[in-house]
Structure 1
Amino acid sequence: MPEDILTPKERYDSLVFIGIKENDVIDFIKVYAEDKTKALALLNSFFYEKGIHPMDFIVVDEGVEDVSEKEIISTKTEEELSAYLSRLGLKLISNGILYTKYKDSIYQITAISRELYETLKKQKKPERMEEELKEVEPYIDLEKIPAGEIPKEYIKQFNLLNLMQDMLVINEAEIDLETILKEAIQGQVLIPRNMEVEESLLIQIFDKEYHREISSAVDKVLVKTPIIYWDYYVDSMDDFEFKKIEERVFSAPIFLKAMKGFLVLYEPPKQLVKRLRRIKKRGYVDFNFRDRRYKIPVNFTIIVETGGDGRWNMTFPITMRLPKLDEHIWLNLIREEFGVKLSIADARRIPKDQRTMSSFKNLKILYRKLKEHNKEKGDVELLKEAIDIMVGTVR
């Protein structure tokens, strides 16, 4: 640990804020560093230097903070934080000034003592805060589906999401389901920042990687309806397990982080889906710690996305079918995108199994590239040439 960690001075890579009572007891800590790893190391070094047990504090906020419009960070620049702590009977002090003139962002971790945490939880929230933390039941706004992502003939089916029931999506059309859901699903839900299963044993629920924060209190966070997308081909099965962060702090599996929202699984193993549905039916997941078992309640909706239903012989409450695009839909997309008409014969040159939204997006890219190099050619000629390239008939 650096010997000067508590010495006030000019700094360029890290900073420590603390909030202290009149008796010099520390109830608030905020550290800044270049990244998460360095911020955690700095926080742990500070705990060690001051003889504080890490379990006596709870992390209430962390993540990247925009400093592009700041040249320095000091107690004078953080007047709002200083005033807030003052109302809690704490004085804000720091170990110097952090120069941020050439930085766009910096990582911060904020922790408060358990005593302060319990005090804040018991405080009656003002009406303004109650309004700020008001939930809005999840729903889908079809008008927010991004243009060009889905044929209009398929849009109405997405109203089925309002039922908040487990769903199998047979996506033969290769529609970008992740993008559509993240843009079109609205609503806001209140989730716990952490679940305290027993004293000093925490499971972290709120995660900035998955949640978009709208507002927050000490122990709860109002987030946009969670939509967590898991892809069998690129993501890990470990995402469905509890992960140890510290001795008595664990990160929740993603189905817990999808609380009150959607867990979207792309081509998942059948055994995984069976396990998750059994957990949902039971209403809780087991969390084992030192020979003790805890029941952690669950509340999430499963969406399984697959390119074909051949292997999905299990029953889902809802099945949404998004078939390959027929010739008429394909031609409508071309007319809407390029403002030209092609014939049925042109559409049929594209094999049926290639008439998907992925292929249509590829066609748009090819068209733009060809136009850059052949500005003298007309749109119809360029489109036909792009189709030749797609289906491999270029000579």
Structure 2
Amino acid sequence: MPEDILTPKERYDSLVFIGIKENDVIDFIKVYAEDKTKALALLNSFFYEKGIHPMDFIVVDEGVEDVSEKEIISTKTEEELSAYLSRLGLKLISNGILYTKYKESIYQITAISRELYETLKKQKKPERMEEELKEVEPYIDLEKIPAGEIPKEYIKQFNLLNLMQDMLVINEAEIDLETILKEAIQGQVLIPRNIEVEESLLIQIFDKEYHREISSAVDKVLVKTPIIYWDYYVDSMDDFEFKKIEERVFSAPIFLKAMKGLLVLYEPPKQLVKRLRRIKKRGYVDFNFRDRRYKIPVNFTIIVETGGDGRWNMTFPITMRLPKLDEHIWLNLIREEFGVKLSIADARRIPKDQRTMSSFKNLKILYRKLKEHNKEKGDVELLKEAIDIMVGTVR
């Protein structure tokens, strides 16, 4: 533990802000450090130095903060924070000045006392804040779908997502569903920062890894409609369990973090989907802690994405089929992307099971690489050569 943690001085790797009452009681703490691990260590060291029990405080914000346009962080640079705390009867002080001239970002954790947290929750929010925290029902904006990600013949189907019902997507066309949804889904929803199942027992819901914050209050955060994408081949089944962060603080499973939004599962095990649908049907998930069981409400939409091998015989409210691209769609993509026409015979050289958006993106990459090395060749010749390479008929 650093001995000088409370000593005001010039600093280069960390800083502590506190908000204190007239009687020197601390109600607000904000720590800066190089990464999350060091920020947590600094916060815990500060608690120890001041004889504060960590469970007397609640973390209300944490994450990477952009400091690229700041040379220092001090009480003088944080005038807005100082003014806000002043309105709460708190004085902002720090343990020095943090030099950030050559830093792009720094990690911060902000915590407030439980007493202040309860006070702020009870306060009537000003009309301006009520407007800032206004929800907009989730919807799909087809015009936001990125160019080149999907044939125009398939776009209309994505209107089905506006029904916000569980869906099976048979994606034989290998369309990048994750990219399309993250761009096309609109709307904004209020989610709790934490769910307090009993005093000092918290389930963290808001997560900067998954949520794009728009505005916030002490206990709630307005976020863009959540889209959480889980891939069976690279992600962990542990993502569907409660994870202990510290004593009496747990991170929620991803289906809770997908609150009021979409949980997209790529080739998930059937048993997992059955479990999630059972949880949705009864409306809550069990959280067990020290021989006690708590019911945590759930609200999310499941989208199962599969390559279409026929193994999904489970009934869904909605099924979206995205078949392989036929010759005409393939040729239209080539004409729109490259401005040239190929024949049906050229399109048929590509095996039917390879006529996908993944293959088309590979074709574009091959074309660009060939163009770099064969600038004298025409576009049609280069495209035909790229197809030869793709299907393995290079002579």
TM-score range (shorter-chain normalised) is: over 0.9
Separation in structure 2 between the aligned mates of residue 285 and residue 123 of structure 1, nearest angstrom? 30
Distance 2:239 2:50 in 1: 35
Q: Give the Cα separation in 2 of the matches to 1:19 and 1:379.
A: 66
* Corresponding residue for residue 3 of structure 2: 3
Give deviations 1:184-208, integer Å, cap 9, x for gaps. 0000000000000000000000000
Question: 5+ unaligned residues in a row in structure 2: which ranges?
Answer: none
What's the secondary structure of 1:319's corresponding residue?
strand
What's the secondary structure of 1:250's corresponding residue?
strand
Aligned match of 1:85: 85
What is the TM-score of this pair, normalised by structure 1? Answer: 1.00
1:120, distance to aligned residue in structure 2 (A): 0.3
Deviation string 1:44-86 (CA, Å, 9 cap, x unpaired) is: 0000110000000000000000000000000000000000000
- Note the alpha carbon deviations across 1:314-369, whole angstroms, 9 max, x for none: 10000000000000000000000000000000000000000000000000000000
Say if 1:4 and 1:218 are closer, same or farther in 2 by CA, change over 3 A.
same
> Does the residue aligned with 2:233 lie in a helix, a strand or coil?
coil
Q: Distance in 1 between matches of 2:313 and 2:355?
A: 26
- List per-residue Cα deviations over 1:23-61 (Å, max 9, x = no partner): 000000000000000000000000011000000000000
**What CA deviation, in whole Å up to 9, does each residue of 1:116-142 have, x standing for no partner?**
000000000000000000000000000
Aligned residue for 2:149, secondary structure, equals coil
- 1:278-307 C-alpha deviation (Å, 9 max, x unpaired): 000010000000000000000000000000
Structure 1: how far apart are the matches of 2:334 and 2:313? 36
> 1:317, 1:286 → 2: CA distance?
25
SS in 1 for 2:109: strand
CA distance in 2, matches of 1:310, 1:174: 15
Match of 2:260 in 1: 260
Q: CA deviation at 1:16?
A: 0.2
Aligned equivalents of 1:217, 1:301: Cα separation in 2: 25
CA distance in 2 between partners of 1:308 and 1:375 (Å)? 40
**What's the secondary structure of 1:19's corresponding residue?**
strand
Q: Distance in 2 between matches of 1:313 and 1:393?
A: 38
TM-score (norm 2): 1.00
Structure 1: tracts of 5 or more residues without a match: none
CA–CA separation in structure 2 for the residues paired with 1:165 and 1:101:
49
Tell me, in whole angstroms, the C-alpha distance in 1 between the residues paired with 2:369 and 2:2: 55
Count of residue correspondences:
395
Q: Which residue of 2 aligns with 1:320?
A: 320
For 2:316 and 2:347, locate their aligned partners in 1 and report how far apart those are by CA, in whole Å. Answer: 35
- Superposed CA RMSD in Å reads 0.4
SS at the partner of 1:280?
A: helix
SS in 2 for 1:208: coil
Counterpart Cα distance in 1 of 2:292 and 2:145: 46
**How much has 1:266 moved relative to structure 2?**
0.2
Q: Secondary structure at the match of 1:40?
A: helix
Query: Aligned partners of 1:310 and 1:373: how far apart in 2?
Result: 42
**Distance in structure 2 (CA, Å) of the matches to 1:123 and 1:309:** 55
For the residue of structure 2 that corresponds to 1:372, the secondary structure is helix
Q: 1:376 and 1:3 mapped to 2: Cα distance? A: 69
Task: Give, in whole Å, the separation in 2 of the partners of 1:298 and 1:257.
Answer: 9
For 2:77 and 2:49, the matched residues in 1 are separated by 26
SS in 2 for 1:175: coil
Q: Indicate the SS of the match to 1:218.
A: coil
Secondary structure of 1:310's counterpart equals coil
Q: Paired residue for 2:195? A: 195
Cα distance in 2 for partners of 1:104, 1:338 equals: 39
Q: Deviations over 1:208-245 (max 9, x none)?
A: 00000000000000000000000000000000000000
1:132-147 equivalences in 2 (<5 Å): 132-147=132-147
Say whether 1:330 aligns with 2:348.
no
> How far apart are 1:309 and its partner, in Å?
4.7
CA distance, structure 2, for counterparts of residue 250 and residue 357 of structure 1: 40
CA distance in 2, matches of 1:103, 1:224: 28
Q: Secondary structure at the match of 2:3?
A: coil
Aligned counterparts, 1:198-209, within 5 A: 198-209=198-209
Q: What secondary structure, in the 3-state scheme, does the structure 2 residue paired with 1:173 have?
A: coil
Residue 274 in structure 1 maps to residue 297 in structure 2: no
Query: Alignment partner of 2:102: what SS?
Result: coil
SS of the equivalent of 2:188 reads strand
The secondary structure found in structure 1 opposite 2:367 is helix
The alpha carbon displacement at 1:310 in A equals 1.2
- Residues 132-186 of structure 1 show CA distances to partners (whole Å, capped at 9, x for unaligned) of 0000000000000000000000000000000000000000000000000000000
Provide the C-alpha distance between the structure 1 equivalents of 2:382 and 2:312, rounded to a whole number of angstroms. Answer: 41
Secondary structure in 2 aligned to 1:260? coil
* Alpha-carbon distance in structure 2 between the residues aligned to 1:291 and 1:388: 64
Q: Which residue of 1 aligns with 2:115?
A: 115
Give the equivalent residue in structure 2 for 1:386: 386
The one-character-per-residue Cα deviations of 1:250-285 (angstroms, maximum 9, x if unpaired) are 000000000000000000000000000000001000
Distance in 2 between the 1:304 and 1:93 partners?
Answer: 51
CA distance in 2, matches of 1:69, 1:373: 42
Match of 2:7, SS? Answer: coil
Structure 1 CA distance for aligned equivalents of residues 325 and 159 of structure 2? 20
Aligned match of 1:101: 101
SS at match of 1:277: helix
Output the CA distance in 2 between the equivalents of 1:250 and 1:15.
Answer: 26
